Structure 1
């Protein structure tokens, strides 16, 4: 038995590399966690993408990584806009994401509900706050409507 054959057999038996299909599933389910910066998010997507698209053409892998970066970002509006602009590289996508956040903050300021900077509050916490605000407004509106339109009893004939 040749040394190369022996190494191939040992590598096949004891190699710790995960299956490419598993890495692709993991890649497709990546989302930016709350509190993670853009650069950390880009590094995460790149690392998992490199494993998921091992052995495939570089251009294809790069385009998939850029798409996942936009689609999985915590700021959905910025991710959507970046994906529509079709950036060629991950660095270009990061720059466009920062540019979008800058303009969004300049136009809407801190009153924009989805303006959570690029670190983003947890979505559940944000939804809870919005639901509470809506509930208060609806409750106040309903109580004023009840005072104006009190139902009058209808007598049967």
Structure 2
């Protein structure tokens, strides 16, 4: 610690001029001993305030600028998002219309098929009825002939 303080004593004398302990010191030995105290007391008390004030100044100075920039960017992003949403809604509406048309076409096809089936059934019934009528006519003719 003594070596460290002696090496940095020239630098520290400039920093520690405002400290009340160093004003009364004249001997180098006492100065080095008192520098230990000064390093612990003054560095914490005097320079703590100095560094804190610097830190606060730069902190607020940089953060205020950054915050303003960020707000502008956010506003721009919001506008872009709104435009995208409108486009998406339009696309969805178009898709729904297409789906409805497809469904209608399918229903028409199904109805046509059903009608065809019914017609076939009717034709078969008519054929059966014709056969029955022919048989009845033959029977009547036989009776007339026999009588």
TM-score (norm 2): 0.31
Task: Please tell me whether Structure 1 or Structure 2 has the larger radius of gyration of its CA atoms.
Answer: 2
| Structure with the largest fraction of helix | 2
Highest RCO, 1 vs 2 (Cα 8 Å, sep ≥ 6): 1
Q: Under a length normalisation based on structure 1, what TM-score does the superposition of the two structures give? A: 0.29
